[in-house]
Structure 1
Amino acid sequence: MLRPGDKIDAYHDPRNPLTVAYQHYAHDDASQGTAVNHCPPDLLLPRLVHLDDLPELRRHLDGLARLRRRPGPDASARTTAALVALLLEIHAQAARAAGDLPALMDRRVHDVVEWLARHPTRRLDLHAAAASAELSADQFSRLFRRETGQSFRAYQVTVRIDRARELLAESGMTVSQVAKVLGYADHRLFVRQFKAHTGTAPGIWKRSA
């Protein structure tokens, strides 16, 4: 989390590209209508935050980006509310990382969820996921559903469709190309799953994004 005056150097492995998502904001004094130069320390986020729920943060960022692309009479109020929700989520994740809030989910499930978020184009076999958690497939399935509210297979589909939405909105790829990148051999299956999750066909989603 960068602040005015910060200078950084960053690099990444080209084989594992770095994804950068950002929002630029300033704290305002509501009574004066001017920017606040010195925020109370408890409002500032740590410069380095370990994110334990990347999909949730991406959901907030996606929603904020969509609001900014679709101006309207209430756009300012809705954008401000979305930004506050985003910052509260980051504060909560920072607090969990510092041990000030309980962990979000069982670490064994969390590690698998994090892997899925980082590799949405790859398939992970249930037995391999269970083995990484040192559980049987049945034990892992029950634990995964309890912690996420979804079956392991359904969660993987959700991750892929979330990635599909990003690619359709930002990459310029066609629907067929996105389906192929995400490992769908059956284009009709991709369209069916996308529509089931979003309520609209991928082509319509792309045109409206």
Structure 2
Amino acid sequence: MLAARRRDRLDDLAKEISEEVPGAARIVPVTLDVTSQESVDALVAAVGGCHVLVNNAGGALGLDTVETADLDDYRAMYETNVLGLVRVTKALLPKLIESGEGHVVNVTSLAAHVPYEGGGGYNAAKHAAYAVNEVMRLELVAKPVRITEVAPGLVKTEEFSLVRFRGDEERAAKPYQGVPEPLVAEDVADCVAWAVTRPPHVNIDRIDVQPRVQAAPYRLHREN
């Protein structure tokens, strides 16, 4: 099952997977807003069994300092990156436990572990997501559910930077300028796929993944 806000993107992705993987299980796209309990309830009602949950919803808003922070931005980032993750996980956890081989993969960010100037709201939200991930690992240790965090560095996607800078295409392009090979979504998906295909007794606690040319959120090699 594929769940996200934009149904057109989901339909395109479902078609792409079906064409690339002949004989794959039927893919069901479902429109989902992780900030809405009603939307999450509808998702749960549409799900039969559930063996793997990948929490990938998130996003950053702005690069304001703490001094100039917009608290509405902080609130929105927390709502999506933290409460959205908890809302969906809480709703599907009974099905994951019932499966006997459940796995929750939380895609956070390098920002969850390494703070940087202007990242206060995003750092705080992703660090909270990391904390929830660690708490679940402790709380579910006696249950048949594995917990994994995937923390990517710089990933070039269509929307992340554009959303962060509120549609300003020039500012949105700057984080990637001069970076020879940033990560792409497929690199992160590979990490998720690897973690969930380990033997059931193996729990991959955390995967940190960055481009080779990135050593920290603020330390990137750029070509002129």
Greater helix share, 1 or 2? 1
Name the TM-score class by shorter chain. under 0.3
Tell me the TM-score normalized by structure 1. Answer: 0.28
If you compute each CA radius of gyration, which structure gives the higher value, 1 or 2? 1
> Using CA pairs below 8 Å that are at least 6 residues apart, which structure has the higher relative contact order?
2
TM-score of the two chains, using structure 2 as the length reference: 0.26
